[in-house]
Structure 1
Amino acid sequence: MNKRITSKEIAKLAGVSSSTISRAFSGDPRISDRTRKQIMSIAEEHGYRPNAIARSLNSQRSRLVALVVNSIENPCEGQQLQYLAQRLQEHELLPILLCCAGYDDRAHLMRMASAYQVDHAVIFSDMVPMADAVQIFRTARPIMVSFEPISDPNISQLLVDGSKAAVEVVEKALSAGRSRFAYLTGRNSSWIDKQRKRWFADALARHGLGFIAESHGDYSYDSGFKEAVMLLRRSPVDAVVCGNDVMAIGVRDAATKVLGRKVPEDLAIIGQDGVNLAMWECNDLTTLALDYAAYMDTIIGFIEDQALGRESATIVTHEYSVRWGSTC
């Protein structure tokens, strides 16, 4: 490994003090443009970059953002993280990604990130106890995404509401003659999935209806496919609401390719998430979707307010809308 050149060595080559080197890289107006350009030229020639860790000790800012997620295998989380990472990088902030799925000691995972003195923590995962996340990232004021509302002024919360969109979908399905609904859950312990099911249960209850059957998947295509075969063979359902889009696509393929059902003529299928693959022509799924750009921009807004010490709303709610496809 090549030895890294130090700021003292750059200062010696440039004939200036070490503090002048620091000022050149921080944009300090106390040095001239000529001196700054000379230092930058020498630094570029020798491959010098300021030590971000050392600088963070002086500024008390690491510019690191912990992103705590379930799994990046999920297209919805992957899509969200892609946009959020780009926005963070535009603000010269660096994300540290923590994937909780398959990791038993999730508190230890968060403590590892906290040891790097992260400036901000965004908790997407519903696999971590909220109390643990708040305690571990207490100096960073955690941003909780899509969690059950928490009465804590030291936490920023981004909530979602799909109740109005669920009413729209149920009304459309009922007008098409559907009356026997089933729900395919993702994970029994997921508060978010329970919330999604409740949106549709409440919409059905307005018409004196409820779910006549329920199956349990794991948010994967394979689980949607497998559960649909068993569900549709044992129950006379004519509409299936799924906990996410990926399972909904699995349900559609099982219904059409294994059981010979026509969608939407025999069976309506509804997803939730609004991921890009749901819009592909081969899928064309009816789903509940968020404006992900606005959703992620709210997180960026929370981070900016925290960084500047501004007071901001502690709770912001985004509503789902229906993205109509050919499956309902």
Structure 2
Amino acid sequence: MNKRITSKQLAKLAGVSSATISRAFSSDARISAATRNRILSIAQEHDYQPNALARSLNSQRSRLVALVVNSIENPAEAEQLQYLVHRLQEKELLPIILCCAGYDDRARLMRMASAYQVDHVVVFSDMVSFDDAIQIFRSARPIIVSNEPLADNNASLVRFDGARAAEEVVDKAVAAGKSHFAYLTGRTSSWIDKQRKAWFADALGKHGLAFVAEGHGDYGYDSGFKEAVVLLRRSKVDAVVCGNDVMAIGVRDAATRVLGKRVPEDIAIIGQDGIAMASWECHDLTTMALDGTTFIDHVVRLIERDQADEVQPETVVLHLKVRWGSTC
């Protein structure tokens, strides 16, 4: 069995410098294909693997990216993370995913990740204190994804604007005769959910209308189903706006299967997120959709910007669009 060798020994065998060995194991480095292949062949012959920890000490870069999310069970977050993880791996950046749901001491969770000297952090979760995140990851230049106002100017911000899309949905629903709107929230502490509700409240106000009822779910299918049964039985509602698509699917099933209502004739249902499942033929949900590819491309661009030591924080505003289905 071959004995493992060090990078210096590999450099001697290959007749190159230690710096050339380092470049051979970096996809974006300038090195000829012939030299790279020769070095990799010798490395394989002697069972050599580069030491990432040693390289990070030398370069003062860990190439780690902390991703702070609510839950990977949420289809919207899962779809976004899937694409983001692939993009990061293409750039030889390694994600550390921190799930906040079900974890009480979220500041401790972030401190655990910061101990690994992460180069970047993207905070998707609205369960954490952004002030804490910015302080804990102060050397990593956080990127915050939220509609919540930030007091700290040392972080870049990605936020969404769905006011125009909400107005488009409400205009069409009102034109179809809908006038009794309800809102099904996912979590009352969520800044994003509060903003989403406000977009629709403002749009309704332009027609002299307001929400006549409200339900409280947890972003899951079961809560959408159960809340809809209660909400639609006790209130005169002909349109339900939901905090996300999964609850909206639950509302539709409850309305049609339990209460015998026709969608959208008796009740219109609107979701938010634009997840792939919402466009399935069996759901065909009208939803406020985010262009996930554009969103993640901006996140990656901000990470690359920080890698280039561009220290000025940036705010990115992404506009949601209506993805029409048969429910409205």
TM-score normalized by the length of structure 1: 0.93
Matched-pair contact (CA < 8 Å) for 2:147–2:192: yes
The one-character-per-residue Cα deviations of 1:75-118 (angstroms, maximum 9, x if unpaired) are 00001101111111222211111100011111111111111111
Instruction: For residue 212 of structure 1, give the secondary structure of its aligned residue in structure 2.
Output: strand
Judge conservation of contact 1:149–1:159 (CA < 8 Å) in 2.
no
**Letter in structure 2 aligned against 1:194:** K
1:131-170 equivalence runs, <5 A: 131-170=131-170
8 Å contact 1:270–1:327 — kept in the other structure?
yes
Q: Does 1:91 align with 2:91?
A: yes
Task: Give the secondary-structure state (helix, strand or coil) at the position aligned to 2:71.
Answer: coil
Q: How does 1:195-234 map to 2 (within 5 A)?
A: 195-234=195-234
2:7 maps to what in 1? 7
Partner SS state of residue 121, structure 1? strand
Tell me the CA shift for residue 60 of structure 1.
1.1
3-state SS, counterpart of residue 83 of structure 2: helix
Q: Distance in 1 between matches of 2:271 and 2:29?
A: 53
Partner of 1:56: 56
CA distance in 1, matches of 2:201, 2:39: 65
Unaligned runs of 5+ in 2: none
Change (3 A) 1:32 1:124: closer
- Residue 193 of structure 1 corresponds to 193
Distance in 1 between residues matched to 2:46 and 2:281, nearest whole Å: 52
Alignment deviations for residues 253-297 of structure 1 (CA, whole Å, 9 cap, x no partner): 000000000000100000000000000000000000011111111
- 1:108 maps to amino acid: R
Match of 1:315 in 2: 315
Deviation at 1:237, TM superposition (A): 0.3
8 Å contact 2:155–2:313 — kept in the other structure? no
> Are 2:285 and 2:326, in contact at CA under 8 Å, matched by a contact in 1?
yes
From the superposition, tell whether residues 59 and 175 of structure 1 become closer, same or farther in structure 2 (CA, over 3 Å). Answer: same
The CA deviation at 1:10 is: 3.5
CA distance in 2, matches of 1:120, 1:32: 30
1:259 and 2:265 matched: no
| Structure 1 position 313, deviation (Å) | 5.8
Alpha-carbon deviation of 1:310?
2.5
AA aligned to 2:179 is S
In structure 2, the partner of 1:285 is 285
- Is the Cα–Cα contact under 8 Å of residues 302 and 312 in structure 1 kept in the other structure? no
Are the structure 2 counterparts of residues 321 and 15 from structure 1 closer, same or farther at C-alpha, using a change threshold of 3 Å? closer
For 1:195 and 1:117, the matched residues in 2 are separated by: 33
**Aligned CA distance change for structure 1 residues 37 and 240 (closer, same or farther; 3 Å):** closer
1:198-251 alpha-carbon deviations (Å, 9 max, x no partner): 000111111111111001000000000000001111111000000000000000
- Give the superposition deviation at 1:6: 3.4
Q: How far apart are 1:9 and its partner, in Å? A: 5.0
For 1:92 and 1:246, how far apart are their aligned partners in 2?
33
Measured after TM superposition, the shift of residue 37 of structure 1 is: 4.4
Q: Which amino acid in structure 1 is aligned with residue 171 of structure 2?
A: E
Inter-partner Cα distance in structure 2 for 1:219 and 1:184? 9
Alignment partner of 1:147: what SS? coil
- Deviation for aligned residue 1:28: 7.5
Q: Which amino acid in structure 2 is aligned with residue 321 of structure 1?
A: K
2:297 & 2:113 partners in 1: Cα distance? 23
Alpha-carbon distance in structure 1 between the residues aligned to 2:307 and 2:133: 19
Bigger mean CA offset, 81-90 vs 8-17 = 8-17
Question: Relative to 1, partners in 2 of residues 1:3 and 1:147: Cα closer, same or farther, differing over 3 Å?
Answer: farther
Equivalent residue of 2:65, what SS? strand
Q: How far apart, in 2, do the equivalents of 1:36 and 1:173 lie?
A: 61
Shift of 1:148: 1.1
Distance 2:254 2:270 in 1: 14
Q: CA RMSD in A?
A: 2.2
The change in CA–CA distance for 1:158 and 1:34 in structure 2 (over 3 A counts) is closer
Aligned CA distance change for structure 1 residues 208 and 24 (closer, same or farther; 3 Å): closer
